[in-house]
Amino acid sequence: MGKYTTVAIKVPDVNRSFTQGSYKYSDPAVAKGNKAVLDKIYAELGTFITKWGIEFEVDDSIIAGFIATESGGKNAPPNQYDATGLMQVTPNTVWEIIVKWQVMVNSPLSAKAISFFNKAIPSSKNFNANTVPSSAVKSEIRKALQNNPEFSIAIGTATLRWLLEAFKDGNVASINKVMVSYNAGYYSMRNKVKGVLTTQQLINNKSIPIESRGYLLKMLGVNGFLDLWFKK
């Protein structure tokens, strides 16, 4: 037994695949390309994925799938929402994860994680839940997300665990709600995804942004990244 809530995933969870125009995950050429992306991510970043996956009890398949969906393994500059790095985390999210970890996860961050975060963002020693991050702090976090792939993966994996604990139903955490919230934001989604909901119900829920519903298909659909991973 680990110290966190366990997750139970069905792969694929829905008999549907992601489609955007003529781009279809069910197309064998697209599936082959996506599989190559997953393999490249794991070959290049597998050490960090496994290290932080063990720390936060998240499987390598899930972390690699999120990296593939978020950035394709490319360290992209900040987008319009200020999300950046391999796992497209925003500076505000980094702040939230660190200052509200104990409240949300109900278990303290390990000394190993604190030490690593303090090294990557020296100002994180002074993060305070009662304030908001200054622009200088956001800039420091942004630089770490962009320039330090291990930090990007560590904080992205911590975010996944934070959300898994936020969306636990009894003794089991809901990965489908985590996917929607990782993409659309926890605070805008938490009231829309209350109760036990299937992935199909979330896909049909039009109050959830279409991009986030597409995210579910990219991860949990047929030929989604988790399907491709476990077909290995």
Partner 1 sequence: MTKAQKILLVVGILGVAFGGFVLTKYLTRNVRKIRGGTVTLQTFDTPPNEEPLDE
Nearest distance, CB of residue 53 and partner 1, angstroms: 6
By CB under 8 A, is residue 171 in contact with partner 1? no
By CB under 8 A, is residue 54 in contact with partner 1? yes
Between β-strands 23-24 and 19-20, what pairing exists: parallel, antiparallel or unpaired? Answer: antiparallel
In contact, 137 and 96? CB cutoff 8 Å:
no
* Sole window of 3-11, 82-90, 102-110, 130-138 interacting with partner 1 (rule: CB under 8 A): 3-11
By CB under 8 A, is residue 158 in contact with partner 1? no
Nearest distance, CB of residue 17 and partner 1, angstroms: 4
In contact, 175 and 18? CB cutoff 8 Å:
no
By CB under 8 A, is residue 189 in contact with partner 1? no
Amino acid sitting at position 175: I
Q: Which of 137, 213, 219, 225 binds partner 1 (CB under 8 A)?
A: 213
By CB under 8 A, is residue 177 in contact with partner 1? no
Q: Which residues contact 43 (CB under 8 A, 6 or more apart)?
A: none
By CB under 8 A, is residue 113 in contact with partner 1? no
DSSP letters spanning 113-150: HHHHHHHHSGGGGG--TTS---HHHHHHHHHHHHH-HH
Nearer CB in complex with partner 1: 49/89: 49
- Integer Cα distance of 114 and 108 in angstroms: 10
By CB under 8 A, is residue 60 in contact with partner 1? yes
In contact, 76 and 84? CB cutoff 8 Å:
yes
By CB under 8 A, is residue 17 in contact with partner 1? yes
By CB under 8 A, is residue 24 in contact with partner 1? yes
Nearer CB in complex with partner 1: 47/147: 47
52: nearest Cα among 137, 167, 162: 162
Nearer CB in complex with partner 1: 54/129: 54
In contact, 88 and 152? CB cutoff 8 Å:
no
- Integer Cα distance of 153 and 45 in angstroms: 9
Tokens read off for 227: 């399907």
Nearer CB in complex with partner 1: 126/171: 171
| Residue the block writes with tokens 């829905």 | 14
Residues making contact with partner 1 (CB under 8 A): 2, 4, 6-13, 15-17, 19-21, 24, 26, 53-54, 57-62, 164, 172-173, 203, 206, 210, 213-214, 217, 221-223, 226, 230
